[in-house]
Each structure stands twice: as structure tokens, then as C-alpha cells.
Amino acid sequence: MRYDGIRPRGRLLTFLTGLGLLGVGGCAALTLKHPETAPQPLPTIDRPAQSPRTSARPDGSTLTDAQAQAALIGQSDLGAPWTATRGAATWRDGMLKASTSAGECQKLLDALYTDRLLGGPARVAVGLDDADTDAQLRYQIGARRPSDVDATLDWLRTMPANCARFTATTQQDLQEDVQVTELALPEVGDARQGLHITVSATTDDDQDIRLTLDVATVRVGDDAFAFTNGGLGGVAGDATQAAVQVGALRLADVRRQGRVDV
């Protein structure tokens, strides 16, 4: 199991509180306080994301609402310590809501912050929390044409070269060092791209913080899913790999069945 990042301790907790990365509950609230800027509560297994109702076309090229919901992964797919999310990670506002002059890298930051890795809003989505590391996995199924998904995948493939390393500034004037490398994914689906991203910063009193993100986008036939697995305390690489494998199989199975029981 791979973990990256530096878990905040001591004086760093005070600094993170000032950034809005910690709630009143201290460590227990790390990455789990719902950010004020989020447009709606993060979906859970019991409270799925709301999306426009879409009926399948006669050729079956669009998932029904029930199929899309059935294709989501859940906590039972990843096992302990993953649980239904308690709220959107506060590091999303604190570290991903940032600006850079590095060309296409701003587009990448925006896609990460808004959860639009597929280039558009999610059809359905779910969030899961790792209680052991305070990591959060946000998984979504898109509602875009395969050609549009492939164009997004082509763009993501350029990120390890075009945005290998750049600087960004948060709304709290925290200076960040962002590094992007390619992340190997299981050979599933028809097309895929993975990224490993670290966002590092040093406080005025020389305390280091680092957000680690595993990012994956996969197209399976006419359908696609994407997710981020991120946290200040590091992320488990095996959870990323499992989510890719289970997600691709689930999506293919739902499509092959042609319908789901509701």
C-alpha cells in the first residue's frame, strides 16, 4: 500500500485552521467540513447526486437513470476503512481553489476543483471517506459523447509534460508547488488516463503541507467514469487501482445487462 504526503501536526494545525482546512473539531474534522462554496451537498450512497432525468435512446447508447446509479461503486466495493462520506473535503477550497499563470495548468486546477474531469458535469456521483487517513474518493459517471471523452483523455495525457511542475496561489495567498506525473492504471476499458498530483506548500513558520491526488478517467464503450482519490495524510494506491477495476467492470456489466431492477 502506498502513502504519500505529510500528516499535519502541532503548530501546523493552527495554520490549517486559518486556511479553513480544519473545522472546529480539530483533527476529527480534517478534510470533512462541508465547504461553503460547494453548490450542493456531496452525494452519498443514500443520497445520490441529482441529475436531469434522461431516458435511454432506442439504440441504447444512453444509460437510463437506474443504470447510471447501479454503475456507481460503493463502500462495499473497496472494503474497510472506506465509508459513505460525511461531507466535501475542506482542502478542496483551501488548496485546489488556486490560480496560476501556467497556461493549460489553470484548466487542470479548475477541473480538479469543480470535479469536471470528464469536461462536463457528472451524470451521477458518490463520495467515500477513508477514516484511517482522512483521504476522500469522489467518483462520477459522465454524460458526454465518447468522442468528447476521448478529446478530454487526449488533453489529460499532455498534463505530465505541459504541467509537470508549476506554481499556484490560493485565495489565502498560500504559494503552492504543483507536480504532475503519469499514473499507471489497470488495462481495463477502451481508453484511460491516470495522473498523480502533489500540491505542496510551506508555511511562514517552515511547516510543510502536501495534498496528494490520484486521478483516473476511463472510457468503457459509450460510457465513462472519473474519480479523484486525495488527502492531506496521503492516499492508498491500491484503492485507486481497485476503483478503476471495479468501476470498469460494473459499468460494462450494467451496459451488458441492458437494464437494472429497481
Per-residue pLDDT tens digits of the chain, which is 262 residues long:
444 444 443 444 444 445 444 433 333 323 333 333 333 344 443 444 444 333 333 334 578 889 999 999 998 898 888 998 888 788 888 899 999 999 899 999 999 999 999 988 899 999 999 888 889 999 999 988 999 999 999 999 999 999 999 999 998 899 999 999 999 999 999 999 999 999 999 877 888 899 999 999 999 999 999 999 999 977 888 899 999 999 999 999 998 887 444 3
pLDDT score for 120 = 85
pLDDT score for 55 = 38
CATH of 11-38+63-257, one of 3.30.70.20, 3.40.1000.70, 3.40.50.970, 3.40.50.2300: 3.40.1000.70
Whole-angstrom Cα distance, residue 76 to residue 192? 24
CA-CA-CA-CA dihedral for 149, 150, 151, 156, to nearest 10 = 90
Domains of the chain, by residue range, sit at 11-38+63-257
Map residue 210 onto helix, strand or coil.
Answer: strand
The DSSP annotation for 2-70 comes to: ---S----THHHHHHHHHT-S-TTGGGGTTTSPPTT-SSPPP-SSSPPP----PPPTTS-S--HHHHHH
Measure CA of the first residue to CA of the last residue in the chain; give whole Å: 36
Whole-angstrom Cα distance, residue 211 to residue 19? 14
